[in-house]
Structure 1
Amino acid sequence: MTFRVAVASTDGKFINQHFGKADKFLVFDIKGPKDFEFVELRENDPSCGIYRAADGKSFTNDTIKLLSDCKVVIVSQIGPGASQKLKNSGTMPLIYPDFIEKALIELSQNLDEFT
């Protein structure tokens, strides 16, 4: 079973982006303990505090849609509203401001907590 994860990072090494301020997400597939691979980089329009004039909805929904195939989104920080929206969409937010590799290894060894 493949487990898809998105990571908010500016440098590709450290999880250092707030969910609402992330302009890109690195996507990884976890295949088993300590077995993961980079899939792609997804560009994002940061959503923090920005609303569309036409319909008044937050860009947060666009970010959630962008990451809809991911089971977990790992960020350095996330607000309670965005966190709840992610959970409601079936994606678990995880605050883990550390090295990406460390986070993926730990997550890959504890997948049963997220399935």
Structure 2
Amino acid sequence: MLIAVTSRDGREINQHFGHAERFLIYEVDGGDARLVDERKIERYCTGESDHSQRAHILSSIAGALVGCRALVCAQIGPGPLMELERLGLEAFTADGPIKATLVELAKVL
């Protein structure tokens, strides 16, 4: 299964959803997770106080996640979380090493 991750350094899940400018896409199979793609996106958070006008960005982000079973990030606000779920994507918050975290998450998906 494919799982998207937000990461500043490519090793740890350590980036807020709204600050991400890319998703790392991992194929998780059994006890292994391997990087298979990187998808660039428009950053959701721009410093504006009203994110409600950014729904089109969430739709674009959801498009970048097509084929992924889930998204894992360090943090995500309630608005983007609800919108991604409405679009059919499960989002999880976690921190720590990417591969080990994804292998554990895959056990419950």
Q: Same fold (TM over 0.5)?
A: yes
| 1:46 paired residue among 37, 43, 47 | 43
The TM-score with structure 2 as length reference comes to 0.84
Unaligned 5+ segments in structure 2 are: none
More strand per residue: 2
TM-score, structure 1 as length reference: 0.80
Structure 1 residues 64 and 95, CA gap change in structure 2 (3 angstroms): same
Are the equivalent residues in 1 in contact too, given 2:6–2:23 (CA < 8 A)?
Answer: yes
Supply the distance in 2 between the matched residues of 1:17 and 1:44 (Cα, whole angstroms). Answer: 14
Q: More helix by proportion, 1 or 2? A: 2
Deviates further, 6-15 or 65-74: 65-74
Candidates 40, 64, 67, aligned match of 1:66: 64
The answer to whether the Cα contact below 8 Å between 2:5 and 2:24 also exists between their aligned partners in 1 is: yes
Q: Which amino acid aligns with 2:65?
A: L
Task: Give secondary structure in 1 for the equivalent of 2:42.
Answer: coil
Q: Deviations over 1:17-58 (max 9, x none)?
A: 1111101110011222x133211111121112478xxxx543
Return the alpha-carbon distance in structure 2 between the equivalents of residues 68 and 85 of structure 1: 15
Secondary structure of the residue aligned to 2:66 is: coil
Quick one: percent identity of the two aligned structures? 32
- 2:80 corresponds in structure 1 to 82
C-alpha RMSD over aligned residues: 1.8
The alpha-carbon distance between structure 1 residues 10 and 57, as it changes in their structure 2 partners (threshold 3 A), is: closer
1:59-86 per-residue CA deviation (whole Å, 9 max, x = no partner) reads: 2221122112211100000000100111
Number of equivalences: 104
Given that residues 71 and 90 in structure 1 are in contact (C-alpha distance below 8 angstroms), is that contact kept between their aligned partners in structure 2? no
